[in-house]
Structure 1
Amino acid sequence: MPSISNKGIQMPESPIRKLVPYAEDAKKRGVKVFHLNIGQPDIKTPQVALDAVKNNTIETLSYARSEGSEEYRNKLANYYVKNNIPVNSSNIVVTTGGSEALLFTIGSITDPGDEIIIPEPFYANYNGFSTASGVSVVPVISSIDDNFALPKIEDFEKLITAKTKAILICNPGNPTGYLYSEEEIKKLKEIVLKHDLFLIADEVYREFTYDGLNHTSVLSIDGLENNAIVIDSVSKRYSMCGARIGCIVSKNEEFIKTAVKFAQARLSPPTYALIASEAALDTPQSYFDDVKEEYVSRRNILISELQKIDGVKVANPKGAFYCVAELPVKDSDHFAQWILESFNHNNETVMVAPASGFYSTAGEGKNQVRIAYVLNEKDLKRSVEILAEALKQYQN
């Protein structure tokens, strides 16, 4: 029998999706499952984006340009300029989701055996993208005890070797909801300039910042023109996860030229999704104001309800729509499966994402879960009630 590649064997399972079969089995048994495991907002997609696809008059669904249509990239550049990110269309490569943007970026700046430093916990698929490229993730640990703030500069510098090619951050963060300050971004600037590294920032949650705090893009910092790479996507901003449109943004011309070669190899991003994404840029600010208000309310309810449960510690997110909670259990993977497989409360249960999959350091996050507050307030309250009852029974 032909053998599977070592790379394929080492490819990690998604902590977000690996429990899906257990959730589906629970539903077949008639149990209602509240999904706190995945960042799929219940917010409606802007109507302007849906109408652009519905009302188009295309007769032949042809290829788009490999780097995305010029119209979309021009319009996207204007969006960035309005957000204090001075770029133009030539600095943008449109991709099939933020996932492809990360794959193209890693492929453009690393060779097999190279290393990328990432503060953990981090978006679980960073592990998968790195494994697919033969690249090693070198973690620098942040702690729930200080709300997952940026680790000390010394912690980064002691990890840098001749194989280090980049530092990768998610801002605001998935899974922690941590928002890096301008001061923290400038500290990272010092490191990458000193050691001639790339600074990759996954900024897909840029619109979702709370408590009067503002987002600082790595592309708004002077002096990072040759080092900064932004990963972006329409998925969360416009509640368009299924469109699968993202982009790479950088002022480094050589990097962009290289990324375009990867884009050419996969031909083009999907045409209908490009049409929807271009139209979505006309979404009024009131849409984002309403969405932010909704997420702040959900966050406040979720955090306050979790804090009522004995033995639970929770970080307070300042952006995105996730939080990491530390539970009074030894193995959150086992607990997350058990709560789907063997537990229900009045014929209802919840699905959470075990946090160990958001770490690359063995043993870290074993008693933590990521919770996405993408449900309405009533369902969030009910979900935490179920979680509290589950913890009581599980501990017994």
Structure 2
Amino acid sequence: MDLFANVLARVRNDYVVPVENADLITDALNGMLQGLDPHSSYIPPDRFDDLQISTTGEYGGLGMEVTMEEGVVKVVAPIDDTPAKKAGIKSGDYLTAIDGESIIGLGLDEAVDRMRGKPGEPITITVVRKGEDPEDITLTREVIKRVVVKHRLEDGIPYIRISQFNELTYSGLKKAVSALKSEIKGKLPGVILDLRGNPGGLLDQSIKVSSAFLNGGEVVSTRGRHKEDNMHYNAKKGELFKGVPVIVLIDGASASASEIVAGALQDRERALLVGLTSFGKGSVQSVIPLRNGRDGALRLTTARYYTPSGRTIQGTGIDPDIAISYALDDKKGNKGGLKESDLPNAIKAEKEKQAEEDSEDENQIEFPPEGFKVEDDYQLKRAVEILKSGKYTELLAKAHS
């Protein structure tokens, strides 16, 4: 503490321009916490309300989940039907400036604050994409309402898309099931649950969504340094999709709560997972108020998530049962977007995956045929084919043999 106080005094007295004590302390705390892992941080008192915005409220913004990589804002995933998604923002994009002013080196919270604003106001962000020149993209801020569950029939097969896990997710899922049953006018022939690009959200909603496919039993567990961090979370009985074949679509942007659902349904042999290995965000963050919030709070990683069979999610992700790419084979390994293990100071997996268990070996990935357009969604097309072919039960058994 003496060392910290000495450095603080030196900076305050001798730095080239005056600096505020509060800013120095906030930056120091964030430096310490973000040196632990990319998800731990200090939350100043005036940012407490933002914790509620992401799960319950509406705000004027662009609609994307972001993280920080070496001082640069990096996109985890754009949210469906938002300005970011409509503008073509992609997972793995770097954001380097807002309205011509650099945001490199800013804290993540400050960068996010600058992107938010009054709905209807324009904003220009500078996007840097690997292998391409920087591009200025002008968007208009919108109220982000987060309609997170959508459904339709895809060639006669019920399709449900969940883009995020917020407080409305499970109720939205129940409404989708009722609507699909009315449209089918009978038992569902199968269902495709699309979790691609879903960055996660609330743990309790992932448990409820899993309960729709499971009749009780474990969904996920957490383990930490302290006994109170070790928890088991079970599904409730009374599944909504009893006896219905299920395919879950995942990709490299399926993270956190998405991975909990996918991992539970895979381990419990309740669904066939199709797509690409998920993001690998399997850590638990606890918000710890400081002086009842008067001094802000710590967002601190306190545990890891584990699937029902005891597999860790952190740093490894969930492998699909059938690996299928959305894009043509580029003959260079089809390196995807950002993964948890790519983030600075990411908590390492407890043990490396064995090479023979890596379902994303490039020789095992199925690619779209030459000339297939990305927008035609090859992964979804193959999921429909599997359910209509009558081979679902055989493929599910093979995946767990």
TM-score range, shorter chain: under 0.3
What is the TM-score of this pair, normalised by structure 1?
0.25
More strand by share: 2
Find the structure with the greater CA-based Rg: 2
What is the TM-score of this pair, normalised by structure 2?
0.25
Bigger relative contact order, structure 1 or 2, given CA contacts below 8 A and separation 6+? 1
More helix by share: 1
